[in-house]
Structure 1
Amino acid sequence: MPQVPEQIASAGTLESPALPNSAGSLFQLFRDGQPHTRAWLASMTGLARSTVSSRIEELLASSLIAPAGESSSTGGRPPSTFILNPGARCTVAVDLGGTHARLAVTDLSGHILAEEDHALAISQGPAAVLDAVADTAERLLAQAEQSPSGVLGVGIGLPGPVEFTTGRPTSPPIMPGWDGFDVPGYVRERLPVPVLVDNDVNTMALGEHTMVHPEVDHMMFVKIATGIGSGIISDGHLQHGAQGAAGDLGHIAVPGGDDAPCTCGNSGCLEAVASGPAIAARLRTSGLDVPDHAALLELVRDGEPEAVRAVRQAGRDVGSVLAGCVNLLNPSVIVIGGVVATAGEHLLAGIRETVYSRSLPLATQHLRIVGTQTSGRAGVLGAAAMVTHHMLAAPQVNALLS
């Protein structure tokens, strides 16, 4: 029997698969958000109409589905239809960056019911940050008029490597005091529901894929902010790798970046060359007043030549690393997000320039490199999707019904 990940096991995942005629298995057909009739469900599953009716009654009693009215009929009484009920439960979604926190309460379809975005330094340590997260979550639940008992789960994205099987950070460079910390266990003390934790860029990739590019099977999401990282979607699924370190783009060496010291202890890493702080530091050596991200972005938007050149060069540096990824993974879409990406087309132009010139023609034949379309919400949307993907799977739905 394969090992069940600790954080998933604590979230209620069952080792054995759901029975094919169970209510949880039938519920999977409703997750497309479309209304379905008993006859259609019976034809798709091969179950008897009586069995389908019984399972529908179970799902109706749990409020996971709801009547959707009557469909058109070619004669006789129109058949009743049923649909996923997004308001049956809610999720608490948390996106933590190096210096910020965005939290949201969402329904089961990912619609945001309440949200808050504020400054929060991850360097304060796990207890202080997670206490602030719990306080904000409780406030948002009240604002959204959602009962804590209706929370399906909490999803958290952290700005560092996370061992996905346990939800614990692993030697995160910009997160002092977090190494090995039991994030799911600590959060459950305040919010006693399933808690799932992943790297923040993985949640962003999941959010952008779920909400914007669901039809894309091969995609990368690249976050450029205080750090640099990527999330990889392959064959429609988020990839974690053996220990959850897949996509750690920021610590690949950049040609010509050998002298730049990195927070990981090495030098010449992409993060040390092209992240927001790295660009700002380079501009300060040129005599510009660039204390933070906001000042950098303001200079770029004002068209300050040195700032524009620095951002475009950062794009080229990112592109030099991404070119290898394109040859290796052959994605059809690369989405660029993070605060530095809000600098606009200058960054994207630098990335495209290098990727298209250094990658194989076959790999770039249909490749699109685009900016994020989730307005800074990719992380919370992905954290919510992480919860629903796990907690609305057939075994968990069966456990919920029982």
Structure 2
Amino acid sequence: MAKRPVIKDSDNPPGLENAGQILSLIATGKAVSRPELQAQTGLSRVTVTHRISALQAAGIIFESNDTRATGGRPSRIWAIRPGFGHVLVANIGETQIQLALLDATATMIGQSRIVRDPDIDFGPEGTLCQIADGFDALCKSHHKKLGQSVLLAIGLSLPAPVDYENCRVFGPSVLAGWEDFDIAGYFKTRFDVPVYGENDVNAMTLHQHRVHFPDDRDLVFVKVGTGIGSGIISQNRLLRGARGVAGDIGHIDASFSLPGKAPVQCRCGKTGCLEAHAAGWALARDLSVALPGKGAGNAPSLKTARDVMASFTASNPVARDLLAQGGAAIGAVLAGMISVLNPARIVIGGTLAAADDVLLIPIRDQVRKRCLPVASQDLVICRAQPAQQSELYGAALLALEGVFAPAHVEMMLTRFAKRATGIMV
């Protein structure tokens, strides 16, 4: 995301000066009681109480009924008040754009979608204009629920490598014409808030980790759908790499795992990629060849992971065998990843994960055969928790974590305070 100006304490109206540190700790869950906040900040009890009171009076936090054991008298827990702010998020896909409005705790308020004609190239400006108009419509349709809620940020999930720091797409990618386009700058003309962009698989990874597996500090999420990709959590942080492509396992050469099989060309132009052997589009290709009627020229047109799963659900033995073979190829590639990253858990998600053990057992078998016991003996390989709109929730978490990060929280407080006093920002 683009660098932002430093906000001085004097820029905040009286009452919220220096409260950002306290707010950031509460929002991230690192410290949620007065004793914890004192210990984390080194501030006196009086100072912590003063800043908590200012945040509470502003309607940003509230004292919940939960308590935290401290060795003495239980301490009450402070939490973000959901309705004080909201985020707008979008997940850009090839055939549709999902839009959502969520509150300050990433609870869904409303959703909509834009159906796209894949044959029409709207380009970055046309697409972002559609999203901005959709955001306006979402806010208007839920204005009663929003009340005085402040827009905190915009979050985007994109099917491309993303330069997170500057919110720009690294290219080339499926988003033709987006390379180095100033996404945040475009939204600045409509919404004067921070804009956070992330690769769609990374957004899903963030959601799975933060919501379903928060205790695993080192985790790999693998999306196995029409394409294959992964996201990496290392020591609770999303690992992006130098150009946003960390975890792009779909284009690792997997031909070594299939001895005797002729090299297969991937849609990226290279041969032997994992995607060319195990992704939904590749399994659909192989399934089409194997289905009756191929010789007569009337074989069904199978193209996606959903097509493969429809055949699998209909108990097609060829689909079952292809999914098992794909699982073995995925497991062989993951074995190398495990040796490098040593995760505690690997989560398999995406459309093909619905095949469950047919896909997971070959993955586990390959990992067991190829990894040293020290790396795999306590490793958990499981199916992702069912999650609709995981990219949307991930984009919301991305935006909220950015807003409440220590480097940016004071700016958010300044905007909030000015809005609350009627000053437009």
TM-score by length of 1: 0.85
Max radius of gyration: which structure? 2
The answer to whether the aligner puts 1:47 opposite 2:59 as a matched pair is no
Correspondence 1:10-29 to 2 at 5 A:
10=4, 22-29=18-25
Unaligned runs of 5+ in 1: 1-6, 73-77
Quick check: 1:281 aligned with 2:285?
A: yes
Q: Answer yes or no: is the 8 Å Cα contact 1:96–1:122 preserved in 2.
A: no
User: How far apart in 2 are the matches of 1:342 and 1:137?
Assistant: 32
Deviates more, 1:338-347 or 1:309-318: 338-347
CA distance in 1, matches of 2:66, 2:290: 68
Which residue does the alignment assign to 1:268? 272
Deviation of the 1:321 alpha carbon = 0.9
User: What is the distance in 1 between the residues matched to 2:317 and 2:65?
Assistant: 60
| Residues 295 and 148 of structure 1: CA distance in aligned 2, closer, same or farther (over 3 Å) | farther
| Corresponding residue of 1:236 | 236
CA separation of 1:138 and 1:208: change in aligned 2, threshold 3 A: same
Deviates more, 1:226-235 or 1:101-110: 101-110
Give the whole-Å Cα distance in 1 for the aligned partners of 2:353 and 2:116.
20
Q: For residue 196 of structure 1, what is the aligned residue in structure 2?
A: 196
Q: Is the 8 A contact 2:335 2:367 kept in 1?
A: yes
Give 2:388's aligned residue.
376
Q: Do the aligned partners of 1:24 and 1:393 also contact (CA within 8 Å) in 2?
A: no
Percent identity for Structure 1 against Structure 2: 34
Q: Which moved more, 1:367-376 or 1:119-128?
A: 119-128
Query: How far does the alpha carbon of each residue in 1:100-157 deviate from its partner, in whole angstroms, 9 at most, with x for none?
Result: 4333222222222222456546773323433333233333333443379722111112
CA distance in 2, matches of 1:70, 1:179: 47
| Cα pair 2:84 2:149 within 8 Å, conserved | no
Q: Which residue matches 2:80?
A: 84
Offset at residue 180 of structure 1 (A): 2.4
Note if contact 1:37-1:81 (Cα within 8 Å) is conserved in structure 2.
Answer: yes
Equivalent position of 1:132 in the other structure: 130
- Note the C-alpha offset of 1:325: 0.3
> Shift of the alpha carbon at 1:354?
1.8
Matching residue's letter, 1:168: R
Structure 2 unaligned residues grouped into runs of 5+: 10-16, 69-73, 292-298, 415-425
More deviation, 112-121/375-384: 112-121
1:224: Cα distance to partner? 1.7
AA of the residue aligned to 2:167? G
1:273–1:317 contact (8 Å) kept in structure 2: yes
Task: State whether residues 103 and 117 of structure 1, in contact with CA within 8 Å, keep that contact through their aligned partners in structure 2.
Answer: yes
Equivalent residue for 1:291, pick from 291, 299, 302: 302
- Between the aligned partners of 1:348 and 1:71, the Cα distance in structure 2 is 40
Residue number in structure 1 paired with 2:13: none
What's the CA shift string for 1:29-58, capped at 9, x where partnerless? 322569956566445544223322321233
- Give the C-alpha shift of residue 380 in structure 1: 1.6
| Residue 63 of structure 2 is aligned to residue 59 of structure 1 | no
Greater Cα offset, 179-188 or 236-245: 179-188
In 1, are the aligned partners of 2:345 and 2:379 still within 8 Å (CA)?
Answer: yes
Residue in structure 2 matched with residue 3 of structure 1 by the alignment: none
Please give the root-mean-square deviation of Cα atoms over the aligned residues, in Å.
Answer: 3.2
- Taking the TM superposition and a 5 Å limit, the aligned residue runs for 1:3-402 are 7-10=1-4, 22-31=18-27, 38=34, 41-42=37-38, 45-68=41-64, 82-116=78-112, 119-120=115-116, 124=121, 125-144=123-142, 145-146=145-146, 150-255=150-255, 256=258, 259-287=263-291, 289-293=300-304, 294-402=306-414
